[in-house]
Structure 1
Amino acid sequence: MTSPCHRCSEEQQDIFSRMLNIFDTQPAEELPRLARITRTFFQVQSVVISLVNSERQWFLSKDNFPRQEPSIEFSFCAHTVSANAPLIVTDTLLDARFAANPLVTSDDPIRFHASYPLCSSRGTPIGALCLYHNHPRTFSDDELQQLSDLACIVQTVLHKVEMQAREAIAQERLHQSDYISQQIFFRAAIGLALIAPDKRPLKFNHALCDMLGYDEETLLALPVENVVHPDDLPGLISAHAQLMESDMRECTQQRRYIRSDGSELWAQVSISVLYNPDGSKFGLLLALTDLSDQKASERALRSLSQQLESRVEQRTAELRQSHQFIQDITDHIPAIISCISPDNVLVFANRHLRKLIGHEHDSLYQRDIHDILRPQEVELFLPRLEESRQKQQPTSFEHVMDMPDGQIVTFHTEMVPAEPPELGTYILSTDITHLTVLRDQLAFEANHDHLTGLPNRRAVISYLNRLAGKKRRGALALLFFDINNFKYYNDQFGHDFGDRVIKTFARLLRQNTRSYDFIGRLAGDEFLMVIHEQNNLNSEIRAITQKLKAKIEKPVTIRRQTITLSASVGRAILPQGAPLNANELIRQADTAMYQAKRRSISSP
């Protein structure tokens, strides 16, 4: 089988290699978490997050996938990347592309596969989020949409690393450009000097040092009066002030300088203003040429000036491109992203925030957040924003918001102070509604019996341990219920009948329990009830057990079988102020229950 992937350009290969190097040296902590969440959410055997090119496949993260990276010709992900489209294989043995694949024919075969492409910030497919299972299964349109949403989150991590790779390339190019400029400065045939706005010399090149007969360190330390002829010094100072304080960009003068041996040097001095990318003045560039070489020196100066101006323009263009790149990236991240200045002015917003506020353009920038957000949102965000600024530390929190379209959405918001603080505070709000629902569901299932819906043994122990840490207003009792003849019901009528007996008993307990008491299923046919003393505990226990006995011991029909339920009950009393040991209290109630059961059996 040949590789289904196409070869990418040299630039793409460079970015791809740098991304792999970043993942090798700085593993993304988010990816293993996302892989685990994905496997739990879809209930599949394995999840893999991969990068793929025309030569091979790399695992960025895998959860419960026992194999190493397959060769590219046997890779499922390669098909997803090649087509730049989801790949759903409900039964690999029925798909001609994969039926003979070693991953399918092995002792531990892959029988189901679903994957979604992961693209670079420029839309090029570079990897896939893959699901694997050892049995065939269906995959609905809703599940495909959910896989797409999770892939979008994974893509956000990849885009962050891709941005690092692109920034590294840009930095290398800038470094190369800076290095070339330094060489031009120091190797120029004319004398060059950089002068600060306060008239301090910053740098001299070798040609100027040779012209004046000093090394650079000595020349930087000399007062200007020792270098410039006294008669020409006022004119040079005046030119400096005029260039720094007016709109003039350059001027040319003929001035005399004093060499180290005391001789005079006549030079034509061309003075140019150098600008920072923001348009402010960086300082002055002085170019000195011996008048005998005037023409040659003028050509070198023009070349140097053009390169310096090109450098400023290049940096300015790169800054604009960088800003637009960040805007484009954040506009496609599934989150609300903004930056708030120290005086609470909005200085950046991605597309999702602009759409939420109702401004699809930049007109909301430089506006106070009080004029943009609703009062309840200002009340929610502003105190946390101020706290993050004062502590100069990131802060995060979860909150619920009523959206303009009527939806109620749960967000996870992070506030990160910029460095330096004058740049503001970055705010990232991610919609975690689906994750919180899943989290709450998992928490419920972990603490409740799936058959009856009552708290399970874990929840019962947790409840008693919480009581142990609180000051109680009165005594409490633990009742231990064991359904009589339950084994007979199971053996005689089957386990489904037994399950219905359990559910019926649990329903009767729930319907006849006070709201402030607690019931739970311990295991099998065993149930617990915690009774909190209100007036007289013994009287309350007697009333509750009599009521339950009357309700439980009525004939009930289950699967066309009429039976009369009963239960053996044991109790353990914990006086007010006595220390509570959950396991010991349960043991005492259990012992009392068995004593009660033996008494009922031995009674005529």
Structure 2
Amino acid sequence: MSYTRSAVNSPRIVGAAERGGQALVGGDGADADGTATVAQRPYRRAPGQGQRFSADRWFARRAVTALTMGTVAVCCILNSVEIGRHGWSSDNWGIMPGFSELLLSLLAGFLLARRASGSHQLGWWWLVAGSLSWAGGQAIWMVIQYGLHRDATVSVATVGFVGWALCSAVGLLKLGGRSSALATTGAVISEAVVLTGSLGLLLWELVLAPTVTNASNVDIVMLAVVPLGTSFVISAVMLLSLHVRRPVIMVMGLAALGLIIAASLQTVRFTGGAVGLPAPHLLHQLSFVLVGLASVLPHKVVAAPVRTSLRRLAFTYLPMTVAIWVAVWHYFVQRRSADIVSISIAMATGAFLAISQITAWFDSERLAERLQNNVIRLRAAQADLRTLLDDLPEALVVLSAEGTIRDLNALTLELTGLTRDDLVGHSFARMVAADDYSRLGVMWQAMLLAEEVDKPIFELRHVDGSVAVVEADVHTPVHDPNRVVVALRDITQRVAESAELEQAQTRFRLAFQSAPIGMVMSSAATGRLLDVNEALAEMLGFQRSDLIGASLQDITHPDDWNVSRLQLASAADGAASSYKLDQRYIRADGQVVWARTSVSVMSDQQGNPLVIAHFEDITEERRAAAHLQWAASHDELTGLPNRTHFLEQLRRRLDGAELGSIAVLFIDLDNFKVVNDSLGHAVGDELLRGMSERLRSVVRDRDMLGRFGGDEFIVMLDGLQLDLSPADVAERLREAISQPLIVENSELYVSGSIGIAFADRAGVTAEELLRDADAAMYRAKTRGRDCVEAFAPGAHETSVLALRTSGELRHGLERGEIVPYYQPIVDLATGHLTGFEVLARWRHPDRGLLSPDQFLPMAEETGLIGDVGAAILRASLAQLGLWQANVPSLADVSIAVNVSVRQLVDARFHDVVAEALAETGVLADSLWLEITETALMSDVKSATIALRNLRSLGLHLSVDDFGTGYSSLTYLKRFPVEAIKVDRAFVKGLGIAAEDTTIVEAVVNLGRSLGLMVVAEGVETPVQLTRLREVGCHRAQGYLFGRPRPAALIE
């Protein structure tokens, strides 16, 4: 049972809520126009919220405001002028106050017309008509008064003034006359006329009649009609204010009050009364200011009284009683003769009083008929409710707050076998078995304390001895908290079925847990493991509690999960009721278990698909099959793919591969036969196994290493478009082979001859590629072994060209064709030129100007790099000496000369540098020697000694292409260098590639932290320059500052 007794069920709070509901207009939570009241009105956005700004609307509002303020200001000025000219007495006033009155009445009509919209627009248009009627009357009055120079107090202009009263009264009734709290429209109008007659009679008898004793009957009627008409407006306001107090109605009442006072003063003035104040004109103007103000007030309910009948009677008949007393006093006590106005008012009031009573009688009859119909409908509803309760599928009992049965339905009687008289008026405990009394007491106590408890289950004893099991649900009606409704749901059959189901589940659980193979129950929709048996937990090495609640994906091998997921999804959709598959699972220790999985799909009680899976461990079976398959495609001694498997993979990768993206390396171990014959086959086998491990450590995972047979290995390199050089890989393989190998405490030395073949022509087959690599390997052996040879159709021509270049380089050095070019180096902080990097160029007599990559590699191979470096060093130092002596702007510049690894480790290089400095007379402080990071790390000890010797000359040292090698901070601090140069490869991606930007920033920060100058190479764009300045780089060089040029162009 879920029971909550909230605070709203309190009689006090419920009563307050009901009273609050009646306080709303009409009693139904809505305004008179049908809109929601404050309590139920939906959220309204603030002005402008969620609306697009409209310039036209904004200017229109500003224009109306300006017009209103301007009109009021003009009227104030006109009145001030008139008062200044003639004083405060209105007797001598001219046309200006009347004209002001005309302007304000027109302005009020204009403002009311702008407001006329929505469900009340008809009421607003009546108010507009009233203002225009007054304006028309005022215009006629001005023509008669100032145009014809006659007194216009009693004239046809009165029609316009009376028209204002009638139209305004109708408009106010339209604005406030739709509330259900009001009587019929006819009753309201008749009561308003009665009230008007009473007020008019009092006004006439007490104020106006004594002043018009000498006037004619026509004048008397004309003088009285305006105050009486205005009294009609006030009467309507008074009656409407009893039911719907809208600000618009209240302000219109004030305006009418002002007009009636002004009309009374005007009447007194016409009949000769001495009124020396400007009240009539100014009150007219003030009243229409109020009318204009009414157009901008909110049209909503401010308050709504609950009962208005007594107050309405007091408003209607108390003034009439006073008027009768005054009339009796005047005409029966003082014997005053009645005039035409008094008689007319009295007759009209009496007639409308009779009409009001007739209307009230019709309303009473109508309400009585409605009440009788409601009673009939209520009785029919009670009968329908009784039928409905008896037809409900649940037993229903209505209790009092003390637990006494107040009512029940037919099904309750059927469950107990008792009659209604046996139960109604008795305790609810009479229906419940004695064993459930304590549970019933707990439920009732929790209900009284507003606590939440589970739905209790009781046994109901039938008179025939049978038992019905019911589930109770308790509710407290909101509108009657002293009643408790108990719904009794017959669950006898459900309880019996639940017991049978529990027995079946127990039997299934025993079979499930005792099965000799692994079993799983999981959700087909989510894959969550609902239950597992001990056999599966033992198979996977988990505790059973660790597996329950986990996902099937958690124990399935990642490579097999996609297939399992698709099968589960198919089962969840009902496409397959069972299936089998072999797949891998992950044990707790990370080992892989193969299992033959048999899956059956069924539904639970809620219709959700469940999976029952059987797991048979087939790990050994799969392992044996895999070993057989592996043995057929691999070399048993080294574990490498054999020739057959290698060719199969090579064919597969060649199919659809891009030209030049695959290369094959053929490796032959030199002198292996000597080792095998002299030391025995066992040592030879160990040598082969050791070499296979070394070769495997060099190649990538995506490449393939295989054993061709004997002492021959083959390598397939794939993905050469990723800037992988087969020659570099072959060189690393050759170096790995040449390292000594310890076998049975003996150091064995062998070398390798390696041939390379490229799949660089269309239609090449795996056999052809392997043949070409084998041919290249044999050519390497013919060159003296322990080398790498690439197979290519144009290899001969390339060799001839290389040999010719080597000979011409020697002659070029002798003829001075190797010359220095200079590229500017700039200080980034000041933008000033600080020096040049010296770059070698070869002015070849036949091939033109050659760049360094076209001859320096040959110089390295032939040993001429030392002579080339010395020539460049001497020439650049000589040029620097000339600049410092003859060009003032270049007096403080320095030069940076690159040094190769062979030059650095050459014992004579120190003397070459010292002699060059001495010959040219250039200070050593003006010379920077740049050594690549890779050159320094090739022999750290020798490089350190050489650098220290060079540094002793007073020159500067820098590390070139920093970041492309593999130096550590320890070695960097050990070398006596003063600068590091950021490689152009990183500068190229600066500001574009996040990785390059991070590397440049790290190198700059590293240099600054070690006190080293940082120079950036390859600066080509302003973006790179800006970013280098931001990270704090000291100097830079590149095409942005200038390309390498000869000395003549520099000057």
Normalized against structure 1, the TM-score is what? 0.35
For the pair shown, the structure with the greater C-alpha radius of gyration is: 2
Choose between structure 1 and 2: higher helix proportion.
2
Choose between structure 1 and 2: higher strand proportion.
1
Normalized against structure 2, the TM-score is what? 0.22
